[in-house]
Amino acid sequence: MEILFWIALFIIFYSYLGYGILLFLIVKLRRLFGLKKKFTGNQDYEPEVTLFVAAYNEKDYVDEKVKNSFSLNYPKEKVKHVWVTDGSDDGTPDLLRTYEGVEVYHENARGGKIGAMNRGMQFVKTPIVIFSDGNTNLGEDSIQEIVNLFKDPKVGCVSGEKRIYQKNADAAAGAGEGLYWKYESTLKKWDAEWYSVVGAAGELFAIRTELWQEVEKDTLLDDFIISLRVAMSGYTIQYNPNAYAIETASANVKEELKRKVRISAGGIQSVVRLSPLLNPFKYGTLSFQYISHRVLRWTLTPLLLLFILPMNFALAYNSGMNPENIYTLLFYGQVAFYSAALIGWFLENRRIKIKALFVPYYFFIMNLSVYLGFRRYMKGNQSVKWERAKRG
């Protein structure tokens, strides 16, 4: 049991912190030995791009989104604005048609976001297509920052950064989600510097239009599948945090859990659908990054978290619960962590906001969502017609 415990503990640590430490060391060593290469050719590359938004009942966001899109710092004549509305019945298509320069392709039947993307790509004629959500605003230099990375012909996909509006006293969803994305942003920067990012953020990412592959209509994580298939075809996914999409956090943990369960179900589906990427003999560094950064978090690690607490208790109990014993210290540490999560839940329900306690609560919610997402995936009842989580 001791061997199993330490193996489980190592995998859990590696999934959430160890891989980040390893990435940091790899990046530092590459810089030290001058292995960091920056592409400097084709500096005048400034192609036409298409801003592509797949929308469903986005009427409340249309005005702000369109104004934001037209205000971005890139030659106006080189930006095409394409909105594909899918089943919207709140007047979104009619409102969009009132804006000059916006192409609107509406279909009454609702097939989900991926259905809209598959249908809408036939209208994209530019070499670069930039996907963005209707309820997010983009940083003013986002298009230029994305295009800059496409100057390297080896880059097939560029991911922007997802940012969360921060409030002085966020609820658990905002505090946890904001911290999580800051950490993820750091990992993505290091992943990209080493070789490739492992999946793009759907709020803002771009691909070379010629690399588009129609995606299965039941796909849950369209951004993840699209971007990794680009990487599997021999290109890299790069990351530029200066290109960003910003949105509000989920209104509360219940709404955030709903969103995370959908993502987790999609994560399991993606691991199955991208199974060839688990072969490091074929995909090398990309496979290692994919397994370390994504697969473990969506599969093995949450399962081990379920067993490591009782295993730890058994080992601590066998040692007589001696406070100087490592197993006892680790057990009390786990109890303290989950107690903090429980207090975070208690305070969230009473709208008392202490960020330090919301972080372990958010971590617990993240892993709970994997169990619920796996169950939903196995039952096959996760629709591609997602209901957006309410925002704060």
**pLDDT tens digits for the chain (392 residues)?**
899 999 999 999 999 999 999 999 999 999 988 876 666 556 678 999 999 999 998 999 999 999 999 999 999 999 999 999 988 888 899 999 999 999 999 998 888 889 999 999 999 999 999 999 998 999 999 999 999 999 999 999 999 998 876 554 455 444 555 677 788 889 999 999 999 999 998 889 999 999 999 999 989 899 999 999 999 999 999 999 999 998 765 555 666 677 788 888 889 999 999 999 999 999 999 999 999 999 999 999 999 998 999 999 999 999 888 888 899 999 999 999 889 888 877 776 666 666 666 778 778 888 888 888 888 777 776 656 555 555 44
Task: Say if CB 105 and CB 119 are below 8 A apart.
Answer: yes
What's the rounded Cα separation, in Å, for the pair 376 and 216?
Answer: 19
b/e map of 60-94 (b: 16 or more CB within 10 Å)?
ebbeebbebbeebebeeeebbbbbbbbbbeeebbe
For 339, the token pair is 């107690």
- One-letter identity of residue 253: V
Q: Could you give phi then psi for residue 256, rounded to 5 degrees?
A: -65, -40
pLDDT confidence of residue 178: 61
Task: Say if CB 48 and CB 79 are below 8 A apart.
Answer: yes
User: Which residues lie below 8 Å from residue 215, measured CB to CB, with a gap of 6+?
Assistant: 114, 117, 118, 222, 225, 226
Question: Which CA distances in Å does 84 have to 93, 135, 227, 318?
Answer: 9, 14, 20, 62
pLDDT confidence of residue 249: 58
pLDDT confidence of residue 15: 95
Closest CA to 147 of 39, 290, 286: 39
pLDDT confidence of residue 172: 47
pLDDT confidence of residue 301: 93
What's the rounded Cα separation, in Å, for the pair 297 and 274?
Answer: 15
Closest CA to 50 of 117, 3, 2, 114: 117
Closest CA to 121 of 221, 56, 50: 50
pLDDT confidence of residue 356: 64
What's the rounded Cα separation, in Å, for the pair 345 and 132?
Answer: 33
pLDDT confidence of residue 151: 92
**Can you list the pairs that 378-385 forms with residues at least 24 positions away whose Cβ atoms lie under 8 Å?**
382/220, 382/262, 382/265, 382/266, 383/112, 384/111, 384/112, 384/113, 384/114, 384/115, 384/217, 384/218, 384/219, 384/220, 385/87, 385/110, 385/111, 385/112
pLDDT confidence of residue 250: 56
pLDDT confidence of residue 169: 47
